[in-house]
Structures are given as C-alpha cells and as structure tokens.
C-alpha cells in the first residue's frame, strides 16, 4: 500500500480518552530493543516514583502488562497491523464487549505524513496520503479516538543547525518565528509542529479530532559527526517540554489545554541499529538511575512558603520578581517554560494548585519567575528573563497563593496580584479532579491482548 510507510503501528489506548482534560498527562515510551533492561516489576516501581501517568508499549508483553495491572498507570499498546480494516475489526470486538467507550483505537504517524508544515497555519497532508487518510480520520472522528503523531524537533535541528534554531527547538529564549498567514509568533518548534498537524486535520474537515504526541524526545549522546545530541540538550528539551505541558497554556492554535504527550524513551536501547543517538534517548539508565533530571520526580508538595533567610537569620530577599509591563504572552510563555525547566517547584500553578487560578500565561509566569528568582543568588540578572521581568516591592500574593520573598517583614497579607482579575478570585475551587480510569482489571488486559493477537 502506498501509504504504509506512514502508518505502521496500531495503537490501543487502555483508558478513557476524553475530548478535553482537567489536567494534562505526561507519558513515556518503553522500548525493548535491548538486552540489559531491568525486570518489569522494577520498571513499575520506577514509574510510580515519578510523575509519569501513562506508558506506551511497542508490543503486548504479558510480563510488563501484568506488572502494570492495578497501578493506575494508563497503557497504550502497539501492534503491527493492516491499518483501517484492523482498526475497524478491533473496534467492533470492543463494542461487542461493551468496551468501546473505555478503550480507543488509533494508529501512529510520522511527521512525513505532512506535505507542508511551515508556516504552521499552512499545514497539510501529503497529496499521496490524503486518500488513505480520509477513511482513517473518519474512523477516528466517529469513535472519538486521537490522531497520533511523532514530532521530533531534534531532527528539525539536525537539518538546520543555526544557534537560533537550537534555542527554538529547546524551548529556550529566542527571537521566535512569525507565521506570515496569521501573525502568530511561535517561540518553540514543538508547538509549531503540533499546530501544523492541527492545520492539516482542519484542512480535511477533522479539526475536532484530538492530537496525541506518541513520540518525542532528544538523545543525550551521539557519534562525533552528529549535531545536537548531548546531555545538556536532552535535559533542556525534555525538561522544558514537561514544564510547557504542565503550564497548560497549549499551542497558539489550540490554547488552554496541553497535548497529551509520550516522551521517548524510558530507557536507552543498546541493540537499536543506526547512529549512536538512536541508542541514547533514555530518561533513565537501566540501573534505574536518572540519565539527567528532566523534572519527572514526584513533587514533595506544593508549599511555596520556603524561607527567604540565611541560616544566620539575615534577610537576603530584595523583593518579588514579576512580569514587566508590555511583555507579550509569547514572551512570558517562553520565560515560564524556561523557569519551570530549571527545577523549581511549579506545582502550585498546575491544576488544583493554590496559584493555578487565574489560568493565564501572565499569572503563571509571575509565579514561576519569582520562584526562580528566590532560589537564585538574587543578582539583578536573575530577574531579567530577556527583559520581560522586573523587581517589585509589592507582595503579589493573593488568597492562598503565597509568593515567597520580600524584605522579611512580618504580618504582610500581600496585595492583589495585578494579573488576577476579581472574577477569577471568586471562581469555585472545590478540589474536583477528572476521575482516572484504571485499566487494572486482569480481564480487561487479557481481553485487549487477545484482541491484538487475534487481529494479526
């Protein structure tokens, strides 16, 4: 089939896949092209010690699936198959078992499925793939299943090694790139690639089909002739990506929600062919230690009441770091992503946190900028953020959202954060969260595994 190069893996999501989310999830791919992987039970312990909520498997390995049962970790299972007919057959079997609403079926695509992606608003599918895609997209729309894609800014940088391109790919401060059709300035490659996919879906009449990022990542090492692989770059990309997803700002064309994303990969795979970078995408080493800190450790809490005093009691804070007047949302988003990517606690601005409301870029950036500044040596340059931040003597704390810092004076109740509107302050916060659907029943796991092998 002419389009088979684009669609090689049937995906089965063993959890509800709602059309919108109360909070994003960050998943990870678990590859098995290696001879030194830890036992599945140890892998599950590692996952539970992290903030990873979902995993994607490249096959229905009974040992891994059994170890994951009952953990609350969502599972996506891949199986090689013949596209649309196989998807339809699996869907029929799920519906016959009254599982059609609980388990979603999709197929993964590489970015080569796009014929145009720059600027993002002009995104369209390659002409040779559109005929085959039409039926698949209709299936996804009818079943509420996601369109899954593998965007890799790493490969984009490999083809354009200018310094500004690297910063653009790593979510680091950069001049940005303006979409000439919409006037939107993009500050990172990930958003640009995802929005190009969104535009392609829209061009075929399937704008409402959700997008899931099935793979994205950055290698921590490579061959001498490879450009881009390094521990610093891998940490920057994955750490800043995670912070970006947690900020819930979304992309310019899909604001206010994070695209569900599976990072590649949990471990290095020492038997993969190709350049050294192919064997170096792991977030963790096979001895279960971190390859680098990408910010996936579970938060120890959302308290923001860290002391701003030295052990001797001397006050070192000189105020609060907040956004500078005139800074754009795009500039503040870049600063927000960078700050949260430096290891500070951005939990309070995540859904359910004391500082999540109001849910806008300026408010979240204010909190992140200040947290970074308070943890820094507090030099003037620590509250600069490419000239988007400034120091203030007014406490921006509000309600139960506490900004650490200031001059150490006691009894301050703070002034209302100017980025908080009064209507947002009255918003109901009842602590309700989206219910998680655990694919823990052995019957469900066995049933899906049997479907995969039966469909082959």
Give, in order, the Cα–Cα distances in Å from 75 to each of 98, 124, 157, 449.
19, 30, 31, 12
215 classed as catalytic? yes
Phi-psi region of 387 (alpha: psi -120 to 50; beta: other; left: phi over 0): left
- Tokens matching residue 157: 């940088």
| φ, ψ of residue 322 in degrees (nearest 5) | -135, 165
278 classed as catalytic? yes
Is beta strand 26-30 parallel, antiparallel or unpaired with respect to 54-57? Answer: parallel
Q: Which residues contact 48 (CB under 8 A, 6 or more apart)?
A: 71, 73
Query: How far is Cα 193 from Cα 157, in angstroms, rounded to an integer?
Result: 13
Q: Which residues contact 95 (CB under 8 A, 6 or more apart)?
A: none
Running DSSP on this structure, what letter comes out for residue 50? B
Query: How far is Cα 402 from Cα 409, in angstroms, rounded to an integer?
Result: 14
Which of 134, 202, 272, 424 is catalytic? The answer is: 272
- Tokens matching residue 55: 């995993």
269 classed as catalytic? yes
385, exposed or middle or buried, with CB in 10 Å at 0-12, 13-18, 19+? buried
Give, in order, the Cα–Cα distances in Å from 72 to each of 15, 23, 60, 65, 86.
10, 16, 18, 12, 28
Which of 53, 210, 269, 357 is catalytic? The answer is: 269
Buried b (16+ CB within 10 A) or exposed e, 397-406: bbeebbbbbb
Which of 66, 257, 278, 375 is catalytic? The answer is: 278
DSSP 309-366: B-TT--B---BEEEEPTT--HHHHHHHHHHHHTTT---GGGSTTSTT--S-SHHHHHH
Query: How far is Cα 452 from Cα 256, in angstroms, rounded to an integer?
Result: 35
257 classed as catalytic? no
Is residue 33 within a helix (H) or strand (E), and if so which, with residue range? none
CB distance 406 to 342 below 8 Å: no
Which of 104, 215, 235, 378 is catalytic? The answer is: 215
Mind telling me the catalytic residues? 215, 269, 272, 278
């Amino acid at each position: 089939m002419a389009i088979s190069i684009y669609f090689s893996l049937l995906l089965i999501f063993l959890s509800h896949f709602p059309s919108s989310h109360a909070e994003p999830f960050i998943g990870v791919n678990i590859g098995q092209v290696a001879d030194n992987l830890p036992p599945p039970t140890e892998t599950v312990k590692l996952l539970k010690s992290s903030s990873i909520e979902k995993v994607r498997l490249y096959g229905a390995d009974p040992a891994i699936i059994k170890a994951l049962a009952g953990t609350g970790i969502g599972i996506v299972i891949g199986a090689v198959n013949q596209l649309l007919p196989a998807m339809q057959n699996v869907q029929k079997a799920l519906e016959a078992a009254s599982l059609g609403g609980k388990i979603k079926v999709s197929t993964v695509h590489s970015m080569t499925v796009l014929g145009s992606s720059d600027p993002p608003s002009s995104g369209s599918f390659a002409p040779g793939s559109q005929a085959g895609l039409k039926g698949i997209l209709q299936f996804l729309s009818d079943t509420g299943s996601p369109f899954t894609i593998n965007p890799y800014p790493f490969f984009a940088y490999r083809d354009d090694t200018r310094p500004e391109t690297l910063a653009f790919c790593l979510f680091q401060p950069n001049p940005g790139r303006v979409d000439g059709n919409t006037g939107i300035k993009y500050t990172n490659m990930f958003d640009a690639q995802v929005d190009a996919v969104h535009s392609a879906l829209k061009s075929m009449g399937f704008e409402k089909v959700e997008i899931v990022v099935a793979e994205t990542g950055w290698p921590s090492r490579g061959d001498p002739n490879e450009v881009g692989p390094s521990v610093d770059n891998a940490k920057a990309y994955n750490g800043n990506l995670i912070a970006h997803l947690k900020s819930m700002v979304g992309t310019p064309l899909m604001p206010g929600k994070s695209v569900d994303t599976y990072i590649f990969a949990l471990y290095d795979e020492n038997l993969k062919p190709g350049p050294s970078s192919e064997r170096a995408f792991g977030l963790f080493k096979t001895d279960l230690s971190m390859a680098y800190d990408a910010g996936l450790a579970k938060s120890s809490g959302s308290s923001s009441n860290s002391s701003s005093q030295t052990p001797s009691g001397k006050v070192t804070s000189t105020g609060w770091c907040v956004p500078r007047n005139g800074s754009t949302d795009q500039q503040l988003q870049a600063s927000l992503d960078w700050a949260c990517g430096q290891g500070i606690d951005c939990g309070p601005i995540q859904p359910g946190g004391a500082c999540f409301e109001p849910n806008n870029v300026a408010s979240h950036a204010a909190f992140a900028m200040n947290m970074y500044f308070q943890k820094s040596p507090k030099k003037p340059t620590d509250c600069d953020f490419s000239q988007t931040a400034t120091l203030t003597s007014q406490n921006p704390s509000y309600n139960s959202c506490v900004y650490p810092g200031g001059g150490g004076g006691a009894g301050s109740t703070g002034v209302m954060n100017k980025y908080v509107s009064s209507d947002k302050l009255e918003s109901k916060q009842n602590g309700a969260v989206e219910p998680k659907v655990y694919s823990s029943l052995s019957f469900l796991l066995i049933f899906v595994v049997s479907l995969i092998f039966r469909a082959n």
